[in-house]
Amino acid sequence: MKKYRSFANGLILLAFILVALSVGATHIDNFWSALTHPGSNEILWQIRIPRVAAAVLVGGALGIAGLMAQGACNNALAEPAILGTSAGASFGAVIAILTGLVQVGSVAAVLCGAVGALLATSLTFKLASLRSNLSSFALIIVGIAVSATITALVGLATTMVTRADARSISFWNFGSLSLITTSNVWSLFCVFIVGASIAWKVAPSLDLLSLGDATAFHLGIDTRRVRALALVALSILAGGAVSTVGTIAFLGLAAPHIARFMYGPAHRYLIIQSALIGASLLVLADTAARTVAAPNELPIGLVTSLIGAPILIALVSVKNTIWKTP
């Protein structure tokens, strides 16, 4: 039974992808024929497929990034947006783009985003552990403060320096998949593979880290190294996603929790399921964002919150024994 349940999210994602490819402002004649003949339909192959592929990769990346954040902090509230990771990624990418060094969505922009994400997340951890050992409370409070400060800097930078290709404040705060190109998809794919591989390697150690640093150490885990690797994976995944499509709220928080409620706490298994659920939510949200008020597009970050939040509320309302807050 569990074996079949494992495939459920894969099938749901596949169904959402097909729906996303088939609907939109323009009707595609002979959809199945167009889908099976590469390049035969320009709207399908030049616009929708890159966009849906980006939604799959960004959603998957944010799902795994959230899992890494929660695992490294041993905290149910941790996610890229709360730890300052997303804001740091925006800042890194915006500064590099505004100075004309890189273009949005390029590999260089992704790298700048990942570096910004890593620096901001490290800053949160450093500040949270200044006065005493790292506590969950300090981490969340400091993370929110770091995030707010860096988000303000991104807003100021995009307002003070005008460049047509630098994107708007709305893009960096709420995200958008409307400007995705095929080359962006390849950059995202590379980032996803690198980040997910590190996450896969560190996942079994995160199981032990959930018992607390002391017990993990007694079981042979180098807790500093494991936490650092998880934060590198988090920064690469969130940095790549945010620097290409802006900040998309809620996926990093919701996807791992939904996966945990469905499949239990083992991190390696959760990497696959968090990625599938994150991808499914974003494909669904993006499809809604571009069809509900067509030809206008809704900000994707708002739609992910509207879809993901009720699911999460429903899951935590049911009595559960999967995550206990000390």
Partner 1 sequence: MITINEITIVRDNREIIYDYSEQIPAGSITVIVGPNGSGKSTLLAAIAGDIVPAKGTITIDDAHPALTSAAKLSTLRAMAMQNQLYTLGFTVRQIIEMGGSADDIMEQLHLTHIADRHVTTLSGGESQRVAIAQAIAQKTSVLLLDEPLAAQDIDSRRRIIDLLKKLADAGTTVVVVAHSHENDLSWADKVIKDFL
Residues that bind partner 1 in the complex, under the rule CB under 8 A: 74, 76, 207-208, 210-212, 214-215, 217-223, 260, 264-266, 320-326
Q: How far is the CB of 86 from partner 1 (least distance, A)?
A: 24
Instruction: Give pairs for 291-298: CB < 8 Å, separation 24+.
Output: 291/23, 291/24, 291/25, 294/24, 294/25, 295/25, 297/176, 297/178
The nearest distance, CB 67 to partner 1, in angstroms, is 12
In whole angstroms, the minimum distance from the beta carbon of 217 to partner 1 comes to 5
Task: Note the helical H segments in 292-318.
Answer: 300-317
| Contact call for residues 242 and 300 (beta carbons, < 8 A) | no
For partner 1, the closer CB: 194 or 315? 315
Long-range contacts: 43-49, Cβ < 8 Å, 24+? 46/182, 48/20, 48/21, 48/24, 49/21
If residue 211 lies in a helix (H) or strand (E), which one and from where to where? none
Please identify, using beta-carbon distances, which residue of 163 and 225 lies nearer to partner 1.
Answer: 225
DSSP state of 272: H
The structure tokens listed for 146 are 């770091």
Q: Based on CB atoms, which residue is closest to partner 1, 76 or 107?
A: 76
| 68/284 with CB nearer partner 1 | 68
Given the complex with partner 1, which of 221 and 281 has the nearer CB atom? 221
- To partner 1, the closest distance from the beta carbon of 259 in angstroms equals 13
Helix 223-245 vs helix 182-209: angle between axes, to the nearest 10 degrees?
A: 160
Task: Give the C-alpha separation, 275 to 38, whole Å.
Answer: 26
* Nearest-approach distance from CB 211 to partner 1, in angstroms: 7
